[in-house]
């Protein structure tokens, strides 16, 4: 009989792991093996011991998926890999038309040929996107709030307060496949592999993670006042901000470097790195 190896992140979904694990358990008729994916033994022992008919269920949010993709990048797993979205953002699932706590679904094809991002000399894979600017700032503030409260983090509220009072835009150089573009007063400059990030925002609505050409998209929101930015900001959730061509530009390419003239926080699939001056995102096609 097949076994389901459930890899879960104890802190995903604002720490509500026990509730979500119980929900998942009720959906699975096969024998289950629960593994804490934050521990190395989940990969070195549990996954390594699977039989050919066994399968993996990754249980968590976008950050959990990112951790799994990077931890297993060199493992050549032949078993099926399924996903049970139970994080706080679930942008990967949203793009596929799936809801939080839905029936686990296969994601193996989406974990192949992932792009990479290099930050401060460290290179890793990413699934959804790399946020730089006020989106990174929002993750930074959200992380601090989680340290002092177990209440769900309202990133939209953080963004509005940041735009009005706390966050200051920077100047930026964006280099796409060797061509450099310069912008003033840049609020956000994310590079995307998928359509969604930040709990439902769609910075690059035309981006297709399974496109044959393998291109990435970078969106630059620039040149606007705080008030004008605040007026346009809600349209990010429908992808309609791209109509504001005076302030928004989307570029496509295989090798994208974004440099700010002052350090800011970066978020990669919701995981934050502080004080970053630049990042480089590369499509898998870049190495072919």
Using 50, 70 and 90 to split pLDDT, how confident is the model at 287? low
Whether residue 140 sits in one domain with residue 103: no
Q: 260 and 125 in one domain?
A: yes
Indicate if 135 and 267 belong to the same structural domain. Answer: yes
- Arithmetic mean of pLDDT, 200-228: 94
Residues 90-104, mean pLDDT to the nearest whole number:
93
Instruction: State the Rg of the chain over Cα.
Output: 19
Q: How far is CA 262 from the centre of its chain?
A: 23
| CATH number of the domain residue 14 falls in | 3.40.50.10330
Phi, psi of 161 (to 5 degrees): -65, -35
Number of structural domains, the chain?
A: 2
Least confident piece of the model among 165-169, 228-232, 241-245, 283-287: 283-287
> What is the pLDDT confidence band of residue 14, given thresholds at 50, 70 and 90?
low
- Please determine, for residue 17, whether its predicted confidence score (pLDDT) is greater than 70: no
> Which pLDDT belongs to residue 164?
82
Residue 222 sits in a domain whose CATH number is 2.60.200.40
Give every CB contact of residue 27 below 8 A, 6+ residues apart in sequence: 84, 103, 104
Per-residue pLDDT at 260 exceeds 60: yes
Q: What is the pLDDT of residue 18?
A: 66
Tell me, yes or no, whether 281 and 199 share the same domain: yes
Return the H-helix or E-strand segment holding 92.
helix 91-95
Contact present, 199 and 91 (Cβ < 8 Å)? yes
Please give the average per-residue pLDDT across 252-265, as a whole number. 97
Q: How far is 239 from 236, CA to CA, in rounded Å?
A: 5
Could you give the C-alpha distances from 51 to 78, 109, 116, 144, 285, in angstroms and in order? 10, 20, 30, 42, 33
Range of the domain at 78: 3-111
Separation between Cα atoms, residue 196 and residue 90, nearest integer Å:
9
CB 159 within 8 A of CB 245: no
CA–CA distance, 207 with 195 (Å, rounded to integer) = 6
Do 107 and 120 have their domain in common?
no
Together in a domain, 145 and 257: yes
Whether 259 and 126 share a structural domain: yes
Residue at which a domain ends, from 87, 111, 135 = 111
CB atoms within 10 A of CB 60: 27
- Same domain? For 107 and 124 the reply is no
164 and 75 fall within a common domain: no
Are 99 and 121 within one domain? no
Answer yes or no: do 92 and 180 share one domain. no
Of residues 81 and 61, more confidently modeled: 81
- CA dist 135 → 8, 31, 138, 199, 272 (Å): 26, 41, 5, 11, 10
- Looking at the fold, whether 184 and 58 belong to one and the same domain comes out as no
pLDDT average, residue stretch 151-179: 88
Could you say which of 71, 93, 111 is where a domain stops?
111
pLDDT, mean of residues 202-225: 95
Query: Helix and strand tally (H, E) in the chain?
Result: 7, 15
Q: Considering 111, 144, 173, which residue would you say is the last residue of a domain? A: 111
Average pLDDT on 19-34 reads 84
């Amino acid at each position: 009989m097949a076994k389901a190896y459930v890899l879960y992140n104890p802190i995903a979904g604002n720490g509500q792991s026990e509730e979500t694990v119980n929900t998942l358990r009720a959906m699975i008729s096969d024998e289950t093996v629960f593994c804490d994916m934050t521990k190395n033994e989940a990969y070195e022992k549990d996954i390594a011991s699977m039989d050919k008919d066994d399968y993996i269920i990754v249980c968590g949010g976008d950050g959990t998926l990112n951790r799994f993709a990077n931890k297993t990048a060199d493992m050549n797993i032949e078993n099926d890999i399924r996903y049970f979205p139970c994080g706080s953002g679930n942008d990967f699932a949203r793009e596929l038309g799936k809801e939080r706590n839905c029936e686990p679904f296969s994601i193996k094809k989406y974990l192949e040929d992932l792009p990479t991002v290099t930050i401060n000399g460290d290179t890793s894979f990413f699934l959804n996107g790399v946020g730089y600017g006020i989106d990174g700032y929002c993750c930074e503030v959200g992380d601090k709030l989680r340290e002092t409260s177990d209440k769900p983090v309202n990133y939209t509220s953080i963004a509005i307060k940041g735009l009005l009072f706390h966050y200051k835009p920077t100047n930026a150089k964006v280099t796409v496949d060797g061509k450099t573009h310069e912008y003033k007063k840049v609020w956000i400059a994310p590079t995307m592999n998928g359509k969604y990030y930040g709990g439902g925002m769609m910075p690059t609505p035309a981006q297709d993670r399974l496109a044959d050409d393998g291109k990435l998209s970078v969106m630059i929101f620039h040149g606007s006042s705080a008030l004008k930015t605040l007026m346009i900001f809600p349209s990010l959730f429908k992808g309609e901000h791209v109509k504001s061509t005076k302030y928004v530009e989307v570029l496509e390419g295989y090798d994208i470097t974004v440099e700010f003239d002052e350090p800011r926080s970066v978020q990669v699939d919701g995981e934050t790195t502080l004080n970053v001056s630049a990042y480089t995102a590369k499509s898998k096609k870049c190495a072919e």
